[in-house]
Amino acid sequence: MTITKTSGTQEKLAILSRDSQYDLACACATKENEHRTRSREDKWIYPVILPGGGTTYLFKTLLSNECVNNCKYCPLRAGSDTRRCALAPEELAGIFLTYYKARKVSGLFLSSAVCQNPDATMELINRTALNLRRAQFRGYIHLKIIPGASDAAIRQSLALSSAVSLNIEAPGEENFKYLSTTKNYPRDIIRPIELISRLRREKGSAYYGIKQTTQFVVGAARETDGQIIQSCWKLYKELGLNRVYFSAYQRGAGSPELPGENSTLANRDLLSREHRLYQTDWLIRKYGFKLDEIPLGADGNLSLTIDPKEAWAKQHPEFFPVNINEDNKFRLLRVPGLGQVMAERILKLRASGAKIKSFGELGKLTKMLKNGQEYVTF
């Protein structure tokens, strides 16, 4: 193992902002070309937030990449061969304010590896945010809650932030055991997620309205899509989370003993699996699909070759055809290829008295819309 320390602020910032790519639990892109993309090798290419001169919406970085945890999927886990460094809270707050005053960023997403223990790390994270608030920064701050953090540390983070996230990582304790032996799933993951949910939803509370997100690591353990989707349903419907994110595990990043390292799926399949989960998440959050309506295969997984809405449509021919000129928004949104924007356009045209005769009248006839033609009548 080689551990290299570095002392230059800009050099540390370059390393820590690069290492922050592994955490997706914030929506930091404002334009399509700022989202991560696939490389030819079926790896994700992340936008480099700092410090290469580009302007971005969120200043996204780690406070430290020196970690005591052994999360087997994480390239920064204890014992891994990587350059280690850390920024002091006052140092990072000063850097952020410099970028903010230059109008290069408008908010902060701050995470950290676990140095010493959860509360020692939370003290550093919260101190960074406190410095910014004392400097009269009133903008967006998203703070990462470290698994195992105390209730007091969590409450302080909520008091200082606009949004918080604690990554759930896996659906259920049995799957989580593959990922870490240094964290206790019920105590360090589920309990604080439930605490945050309760505090931020108490009307009249000082924490009311703070946003809460989380993230699953997909394909590192032996979880099925069905298990992830069931967990998502609870996170949204029972705990009121604002967003759930998914990160496909990429072989070579973690420990050789992970089930994901021996998976028969290619990297491109893992990325497709992540994409299908995001499509399903959209069905639940935006299209009114219920948990038992999500089309899963006999193995408990989503199809990699067909999107979940079209898979549902093929399984329910009795629901179709949908009448474009008469049916309500709920039925329109069940048509493969029809999204919210297109459904609103249809309803607006109908309200003006127009009779729609083909999808071509709605705009460019995309491949998705062509797929939907067999499910409608005009």
**What does the alpha-carbon distance between residue 142 and residue 4 come to, in Å, rounded to a whole number?**
29
Q: Measured between alpha carbons, how far is residue 372 from residues 263, 333, 340 in Å?
A: 34, 11, 14
Contact 213, 165 (CB under 8 A): yes
* Residues 241, 352 share a domain: no
Q: Domain boundary at 272, 305, 338, which?
A: 305
Q: Is residue 28 part of a domain?
A: yes
Q: Is residue 344 part of a domain?
A: yes
Q: Mean pLDDT throughout 47-63? A: 58
pLDDT at 128 over 50: yes
* Residues 199, 339 share a domain: no
**What does the alpha-carbon distance between residue 123 and residue 59 come to, in Å, rounded to a whole number?**
20
* Residues 325, 182 share a domain: no
**What does the alpha-carbon distance between residue 318 and residue 179 come to, in Å, rounded to a whole number?**
43
| pLDDT tens string 226-266 | 999 999 999 999 999 999 999 999 788 788 889 999 888 88
Confidence of residue 40 (pLDDT cuts 50, 70, 90): low
Contact 329, 347 (CB under 8 A): yes
Q: Is the peptide bond before 147 cis (omega within 30 degrees of 0)?
A: no
pLDDT at 357 over 60: yes
Range ranked top by mean pLDDT from 66-80, 82-96, 117-131, 258-272: 117-131
**What does the alpha-carbon distance between residue 327 and residue 338 come to, in Å, rounded to a whole number?**
13
Confidence of residue 9 (pLDDT cuts 50, 70, 90): confident
Q: Mean pLDDT throughout 322-334? A: 96
Confidence of residue 216 (pLDDT cuts 50, 70, 90): very high
* Residues 325, 224 share a domain: no
* Residues 336, 241 share a domain: no
Confidence of residue 5 (pLDDT cuts 50, 70, 90): very low
**Single-letter amino acid code for the residue at 330:** F
Q: Measured between alpha carbons, how far is residue 88 from residues 9, 22, 98, 152, 273 in Å?
A: 10, 21, 16, 21, 38
> Comparing C-alpha atoms, which of 277, 151, 268, 257 is closest to residue 217?
277
Domain count, the chain: 2
* Residues 195, 122 share a domain: yes
Determine the pLDDT at residue 156.
Answer: 98
Q: Is residue 280 part of a domain?
A: yes
Q: Is residue 262 part of a domain?
A: yes
Q: Domain boundary at 270, 305, 340, which?
A: 305
Mean pLDDT score of the chain:
87
Confidence of residue 343 (pLDDT cuts 50, 70, 90): very high
In this structure, is the dihedral angle defined by the CA atoms of residues 297, 271, 188 and 174, taken in order, positive or negative? positive
* Residues 295, 322 share a domain: no
| pLDDT tens string 154-169 | 999 999 999 999 999 9
Determine the pLDDT at residue 57.
Answer: 65
Contact 178, 170 (CB under 8 A): yes
* Residues 293, 339 share a domain: no
* Residues 90, 29 share a domain: yes
**Domain interval for residue 147:** 9-305
If one counts every other C-beta atom within 10 angstroms of the C-beta of residue 92, the result is 28
pLDDT at 6 over 60: no
Determine the pLDDT at residue 35.
Answer: 53
* Pair of tokens at residue 205: 């509370």
Contact 208, 156 (CB under 8 A): no
**What does the alpha-carbon distance between residue 93 and residue 82 come to, in Å, rounded to a whole number?**
25
Least confident range from 95-99, 226-230, 367-371: namely: 367-371
| pLDDT tens string 71-86 | 888 888 888 878 888 8
What percent of the chain is predicted at pLDDT more than 70? Answer: 88
| pLDDT tens string 275-313 | 999 999 999 999 999 999 999 999 999 999 999 999 999
Determine the pLDDT at residue 24.
Answer: 58
Q: Is residue 311 part of a domain?
A: no
Q: Is residue 176 part of a domain?
A: yes
* Residues 351, 222 share a domain: no
In this structure, is the dihedral angle defined by the CA atoms of residues 175, 154, 274 and 248, taken in order, positive or negative? negative
Q: Domain boundary at 258, 273, 305, which?
A: 305
Confidence of residue 87 (pLDDT cuts 50, 70, 90): very high
Per the rule left: phi > 0, alpha: psi between -120 and 50, beta: everything else, 53 is left
Range ranked top by mean pLDDT from 58-62, 257-261, 320-324, 362-366: 320-324
Determine the pLDDT at residue 82.
Answer: 81
Confidence of residue 16 (pLDDT cuts 50, 70, 90): confident
Least confident range from 69-83, 120-134, 269-283: namely: 69-83
* Residues 355, 239 share a domain: no
96: domain CATH number is 3.20.20
Q: Is residue 3 part of a domain?
A: no
**What does the alpha-carbon distance between residue 8 and residue 127 come to, in Å, rounded to a whole number?**
21
Q: Is residue 124 part of a domain?
A: yes
* Residues 229, 371 share a domain: no
**Single-letter amino acid code for the residue at 361:** E
Q: Mean pLDDT throughout 96-110? A: 87
> Comparing C-alpha atoms, which of 369, 367, 285 is closest to residue 332?
369
